[in-house]
Amino acid sequence: MHVLILGGTTEARRLAELLDGVPGLTVTTSLAGRVASPRLPPGEVRVGGFGGAEGLTAWLRERRVGALVDATHPFAGTMSRHAARAAALARVPLLALRRPGWTPGEGDDWHEAGSSEEAAALLPALGRRVFLTTGRMGLAAFAGLDDLWFLVRSVDPPEGPRPAHARILLERGPFTLDGERELLRGHHIDVVVTKDSGGAATAPKLTAAREAVLPVVVIRRPPPPEGVPVTPTPEGAADWVAEQAARRTD
């Protein structure tokens, strides 16, 4: 059975590792091509868009894909919608692999926002020196905030409009609590902005912010596509793939 994993996350890579070498499975991971030097999973890898839901439908049919796992980032809402549509059109079983979101703990001062624009609107009332960790794609929303200073952390250099007063820090997680504490202290950060990405790799910034009693603006996730079953772990997704393969040989 040919399994297509829509990737770009730690969980997608872990799933490819779990499925690597399983007899009877061919595994392809698809990456969007946004990151210049991605960490590659085992198995086959293809890079670049499919050309919308129609392109993905054609790909699923041509390659006789027997199971599709949408293991994209929780904020990759367009790809997830395309996956749901293409799976329905090509009649391929689909599972979404989504790490759980973060929840505030004792002492957290979180401010929820529905979008980057909403997050930007909240900032002037919360602080002057912002640690912005929403990735290199959505900086335009913060571009008009000329009275604030930004520390922008991203894997690759940002493109397009960005805040006037910004220092760019090119780093890829996982990050440590000690490192995050030092970063907040060293740059005199007084407010943090993050997406509700979930997962352990980038969570230490939240603990460091709590310790330093800093407000955190948390951008909510887009809703997952309706009717698609979801599992929170790569192990759960590997079990689901095994079930799909067993059904085909029944």
| Site of interaction with ligand NAP (CB under 6 A) | 6-9, 30-32, 34, 49-52, 55-56, 72-73, 75-79, 82, 135, 195
Q: Tell me the β-bridge partners of 228.
A: none
Choose between 190 and 218: whose C-beta lies nearer to ligand NAP: 218
CB of 201 to ligand NAP, least distance (A): 10
Helix segments in the chain, DSSP class H? 10-19, 52-62, 77-90, 116-122, 177-186, 204-211, 234-249
Choose between 141 and 149: whose C-beta lies nearer to ligand NAP: 141
Report angle CA 192, 198, 202 to the nearest 5 degrees: 55
Choose between 201 and 242: whose C-beta lies nearer to ligand NAP: 201
CB of 5 to ligand NAP, least distance (A): 8
DSSP string, 115-181: SHHHHHHHGGGT-SEEEE-S-STTGGGGTT-TTSEEEEEESS---S---SSEEEEE--S---HHHHH
Choose between 129 and 173: whose C-beta lies nearer to ligand NAP: 173
Q: Strand, coil or helix: what is 4?
A: strand
Choose between 38 and 163: whose C-beta lies nearer to ligand NAP: 38
Cα dihedral sign for 185, 188, 190, 191?
negative
